[in-house]
């Protein structure tokens, strides 16, 4: 016959309560901090992506605008043009006036097919801010998606429309001699639905007459 001596030693309730009192707030704090870190990292990544997207968009427009011929530039009329009798209606394509911000531009470019023949031109190219359906140009979020007057920058040439840049809230251009100034605002949503905006004012020198 054998006798078993069992060891009943363990944690007392008081010990468990003390451990939990110390451990639970720490676990909570670490969880909370981890959440904050994740959000911060997500925000930083999204913000960096938005800035990068804006810079790529600017470069894309520059590729079209720089070889543009200044003498062929046309711009859409705004209310001031109608008031000054330079146009009969808003949106009519007219010759540009310096230092006026407008929502688009049309020009012919040196074609680039023959580098020694600068007079060879493309068909007229038109860059315009085309609003999404449900949006009106009124500085309001008409479709309730958090973005204001969003749309795309569209390139129209020879009856074909290409969407160059998406999520554009503002696109305006102003001429001063050969210098074409562009204001561009991009807005994007991150994974949690927060809207991140980035603005750029860029100047392009139009090379050709």
Partner 1 sequence: MASLFGLIIMGAVLTMITRQSVHRQTNVESSLALSAAINNLEQIRAVPTTGLPALDGVGFDVPGLNGAPGGLPPVNGDVDGLPGKLTVALDQNTGGVSIYRVDAVVTWDGVSGPRQVRMGCLIGERK
Binding residues for partner 1, rule: CB under 8 A, are 22-23, 26, 29-30, 33-34, 36-37, 40-41, 43-44, 47-48, 51, 55, 177-179, 183, 198-205, 207
Three-state DSSP at 26 gives helix
Q: Which is nearer to partner 1, 40 or 161 (CB)?
A: 40
Interacting residues of 79 by C-beta distance below 8 A, sequence separation 6+: 90
Q: How far apart are CB 15 and partner 1 at their closest, in Å?
A: 14
- Strand 93-94 and strand 75-76: the pairing is antiparallel
What is the DSSP annotation of 69-124?
BGGG-BEE--HHHHHTTS-SSTT-EE---TT--BSEEEE-BB-SSSTT-TT-BPPP
Q: Which is nearer to partner 1, 40 or 119 (CB)?
A: 40
Q: How far apart are CB 134 and partner 1 at their closest, in Å?
A: 26
Q: How far apart are CB 183 and partner 1 at their closest, in Å?
A: 7
Q: How far apart are CB 2 and partner 1 at their closest, in Å?
A: 41
Helix locations, the chain, DSSP H:
13-65, 79-83
Q: Which is nearer to partner 1, 71 or 163 (CB)?
A: 71
**Contact assessment for residue 154 and residue 128, using Cβ atoms and an 8 Å cutoff:** yes
């Amino acid at each position: 016959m054998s006798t078993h001596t069992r060891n009943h030693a363990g944690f007392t309730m008081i010990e468990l309560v003390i451990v939990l009192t110390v451990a639970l707030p720490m676990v909570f704090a670490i969880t909370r901090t981890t959440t904050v870190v994740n959000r911060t990292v997500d925000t930083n990544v999204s913000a960096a992506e938005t800035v990068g997207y804006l810079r790529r968009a600017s470069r894309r427009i520059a590729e079209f605008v720089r070889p543009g011929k200044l003498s062929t530039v046309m711009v859409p009329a705004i209310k001031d043009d109608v008031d000054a009798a330079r146009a009969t209606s808003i949106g009519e394509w007219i010759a540009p006036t310096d230092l006026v911000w407008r929502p688009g531009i049309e020009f012919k470019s040196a074609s680039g097919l023959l580098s020694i023949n600068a007079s060879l031109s493309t068909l007229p190219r038109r860059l315009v801010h085309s609003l999404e359906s449900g949006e009106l140009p009124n500085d309001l979020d008409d479709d309730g998606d958090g973005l204001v007057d969003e749309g795309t920058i569209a390139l129209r040439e020879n009856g074909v429309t290409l969407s160059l840049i998406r999520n554009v809230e503002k696109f305006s251009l102003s001429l001063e001699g050969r210098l074409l100034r562009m204001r561009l605002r991009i807005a994007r949503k991150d994974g949690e639905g927060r809207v991140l905006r980035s603005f750029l004012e860029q100047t392009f020198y139009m090379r050709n007459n």
